[in-house]
Amino acid sequence: MEQVKQIQLSEHFTYKKLLRFVLPSIIMMIFTSVYSIVDGLFVSNFVGKTPFAAINMVMPVLTILGSFGFMMGAGGTAIVGRTLGEGDGEKANRYFSMLIYVVIGLGIIFSLLGFVFMRPLAALLGAKGDMLEFCVLYGRVILVTLPFFMLQNSFQNFFVMAEKPNLGLAVTVVSGVLNIVLDALFILVFRWGLFGAAFATALSQAVGAVIALVYFARKNSSLLRLIPKSGVDGRVLLKACTNGASEMVGNLAASVVTMLYNLQLMRLIGEDGVAAYGVIAYFGFIFSAIFYGYAVGCSPIVSYQFGADNRAELKNLFWKSLGTIGITGIAMVLLSRLGAVPLSKIFVGYDTALFELTVHGFKIYSAAFLFSGFSVFGSAFFTALNDGMVSALISFLRTFIFEIGSILLLPFIFGLDGIWAAIVVAELAALIVTVFFFMTKRKKYHYA
């Protein structure tokens, strides 16, 4: 039997080799989305509908704070990858270490601020009465370990950059499985309710981050290692932030979008609408995680080849990625249409009206998967090319302009169905913008 060797960033990527390299990142992103989904599953079925709605109400705040980790990871990977491609491993490790230390510092600051202001933030989102108390409880427990959550988000990119995607996957799987086990233990056995769900998620995030920190702090066989004295390079830090601005914008906008969904649904049909959207969003996270995972896995290769000025390989990666994403999008739409009934039943089968509402919304919402992968890849592709401006513009238009505009406008025209269809209209518009940038930037970066 032929021995499977580790794939290096400098190699030529066939379809088979590309899929082998990005698959761990895809699975890693899916397991990352498991955190909130598992909490929702246990809370919805064993704690109650109102606590379940509360999780979905407060989650955008937690996502916004954690998204700074994604920004540093994605933006920093582009810089570190390009530096490695230029052949300067020592400088790459200094940049990597500095970025990780900055993430830790930001995590501590945001954790303290979020803990103090969680109640007014939850009230601002529309929570009141019992739901407000549940939001504060869940949010504050999660915020205690926010620095670890931000580190996990950063390390998802750096594990791939270090040519260790399988190790990154293993760490994420351990965290995800631990979350499931602890949810079952704290909710079903100890009867800790919503606190148990939050505590399980907080502990599992901490474990995943600590494992990654220990690995990179010690001597290892990867391309990257944490060094004690990295110094602070303001220019590189600013470049990492601008490179990763698209990821930050995307996560920030997704959180704002979720808030608007919840506000519109509370206005039209109340808590049932928030609960139904929560279920739909959970499965949207899983399907979207496939696209985001592909982008995370492919971006370090693009950055490396860009730094090495290997134009032929950039073209190869670009066209193979577009084909893969197109086929995957079609498959996702078909699977989501077939799975709408059984998947919804898992979460809200105990309530007939809520179940029917969720299935109907899911079938409309799922059409967006046909378009969304291209803009996700496009934003990550330009980040990897160190063009943070174009990357951020794609993310900004896709979410802040197109999706928010659709959520605010379509319900007035189509009622409740307008809310479910908002994402479809937004993703189609984002696809048009992404194609425009692919065409206008191809001569500058020589990828097509």
**Nearest-5° Cα angle at 107, 105 to 111:** 125
Q: How confident is the model at residue 193 (pLDDT cuts 50, 70, 90)?
A: very high
**C-alpha distances out from residue 29 to 165, 171, 220, 250, 291, Å:** 11, 12, 24, 15, 9
Q: Distance between CA 387 and CA 248 in Å, rounded?
A: 15
pLDDT, position 166: 87
pLDDT, position 1: 31
Query: What mean pLDDT comes out for the span 72-97?
Result: 89
Query: What mean pLDDT comes out for the span 89-106?
Result: 94
CA dihedral of 133, 134, 135, 136, whole degrees rounded to 10: 50
pLDDT beyond 90 at 112? yes
**C-alpha distances out from residue 343 to 261, 347, 349, 359, 409, Å:** 21, 7, 9, 9, 29
Q: How confident is the model at residue 120 (pLDDT cuts 50, 70, 90)?
A: very high
pLDDT, position 371: 96
Give the pLDDT confidence of 243-300 residue by residue, as tens digits. 777 667 667 777 788 888 888 888 888 878 888 888 898 888 888 889 989 998 899 8
Q: How confident is the model at residue 347 (pLDDT cuts 50, 70, 90)?
A: confident
pLDDT beyond 90 at 367? yes
Task: Answer for the pair 29, 294: CB distance below 8 angstroms, yes or no.
Answer: no
Extract the tokens encoding 42. Answer: 């246990």
What backbone phi and psi angles, to 5 degrees, belong to 385? -85, 5
Extract the tokens encoding 99. Answer: 């970025």
Q: How confident is the model at residue 36 (pLDDT cuts 50, 70, 90)?
A: low
Residue with tokens 């602890």: 182
Instruction: Name the least confident of 251-260, 334-343, 373-382, 418-427.
Output: 251-260
- Comparison of pLDDT for 74 and 323, the residue scoring more: 323
pTM recorded for the entire structure: 0.74
pLDDT, position 246: 66
pLDDT, position 215: 96
pLDDT, position 168: 87
Percentage of the chain surpassing pLDDT 70? 97
- Comparison of pLDDT for 195 and 271, the residue scoring more: 195
Sign of CA dihedral 400, 275, 277, 65: positive
Q: Distance between CA 162 and CA 222 in Å, rounded?
A: 5
Give the pLDDT confidence of 381-419 residue by residue, as tens digits. 998 898 888 988 898 898 889 999 999 999 988 988 999
**C-alpha distances out from residue 314 to 13, 101, 220, Å:** 10, 32, 29
Query: What mean pLDDT comes out for the span 84-106?
Result: 93
Query: What mean pLDDT comes out for the span 229-234?
Result: 86
pLDDT beyond 50 at 4? no
Query: What mean pLDDT comes out for the span 94-98?
Result: 95
pLDDT, position 2: 36
Sign of CA dihedral 186, 188, 192, 196: positive
pLDDT, position 133: 95
pLDDT, position 125: 81
pLDDT, position 35: 62
pLDDT beyond 70 at 14? yes
Extract the tokens encoding 4. Answer: 């499977």
Task: Please tell me the total number of residues recorded for the chain in this structure.
Answer: 448
pLDDT, position 27: 86
